[in-house]
Amino acid sequence: MTTPMVKTEIQGRVALITLNRPKALNALSNELIDELAEMLRKFDADDDIGAMVLTGSEKAFAAGADIAAMQGWSYMDVYKQDYLGGNWESLKRIRKPIIAAVSGYALGGGCELAMLCDFIIAADNAKFGQPEVKLGVIPGFGGTQRLPRAVGKAKAMDLVLTGRMMDAEEAERCGLVARVVPVERLLEEAMEAAATIASYSLPSIIMAKECVNAADEGTLNETLMYERRNFHALFATEDQKEGMAAFVEKRKPDFKHR
Ligand code: CAA
């Protein structure tokens, strides 16, 4: 039997997903991405899960796409398989929140995978970078697009063109990561944040994620209207009645996720 490249564990309404290819520093092979996509889709469809945490090992969240696999590929090989499309691209369609809990290296596709998650909590030993230029290529899984949106053009150009790594402190300063915590606290902090998210009404959480993501996609007028209409739509949920009644009655809400 082959060892799974993605391990999962459920704690309450939170699914913890751990990349498990330690010998290659969690290099993202197509096989690993297929397993990851399958797990994310499974939890996305599971009514008992409200949020997910994606993590790697202490040494590496993921050191990028699998260079050993890619090295012999021709243009036709990558074009015909639509490399980085397919299951790779499908990861952005997960509707429930995913927190990336990043320890160690998050390089190339690893940094791109972390950025594809909804936010990043980094351990103080984390290192982020887009070193593809050192291999004669460029980022291909969102690095040239999501990085400037997260950190601005100057810092993104610096990282993409020099291929240098930045540490967790710099990553927090420039807005790539939401929080930095001591490495030994990483999973606890990420799981606590995910449990908090999962305790809220799921429809409101999914709409909140969709609205924040829309900020990158339309004009301000369009996306403000999109936000307002989603806000209106939540008044059709039982959980809006429950959440507001609980506040007025000074008790904890009992959300039913509908
Ligand atoms: N692909 C395949 N294997 C990798 C890998 C990768 N991206 N990164 C590391 N590994 C493997 C190494 O080959 C090595 O395997 P062996 O033990 O069999 O030799 C093992 O993982 C451990 O790596 P190192 O010995 O290199 O560990 P280190 O501590 O000396 O260095 C590192 C760590 C700085 C992260 C270094 O491994 C490194 O630079 N890795 C490559 C980073 C990179 O270039 N990433 C971008 C890939 S391209 C991409 O991602 C394109 C895209 O946009 C999708």
pLDDT in tens, 147-203: 999 999 999 999 999 999 999 999 999 999 999 999 999 999 999 999 999 999 999
| Of residues 105, 103, 100, the one with CA closest to residue 119 | 100
Using CB atoms within 10 Å of the CB of residue 168, give its burial: 0 to 12 exposed, 13 to 18 middle, 19+ buried: buried
- Between strands 127-129 and 165-167, the pairing is antiparallel
Beta-bridge partners for 179? 121
224-256 residue pLDDT tens:
999 999 999 999 999 999 999 999 999 999 999
Does 1 score more than 90 pLDDT?
no
Ligand 1 pocket: which of 32, 36, 67, 160 to mutate (most atoms within 8 A of CB):
67
Does 2 score more than 90 pLDDT?
no
Whole-number Å distance between alpha carbons of 48 and 148: 35
Tell whether pTM > 0.85.
yes
Q: Is the CB of 163 under 6 A from ligand 1?
A: no
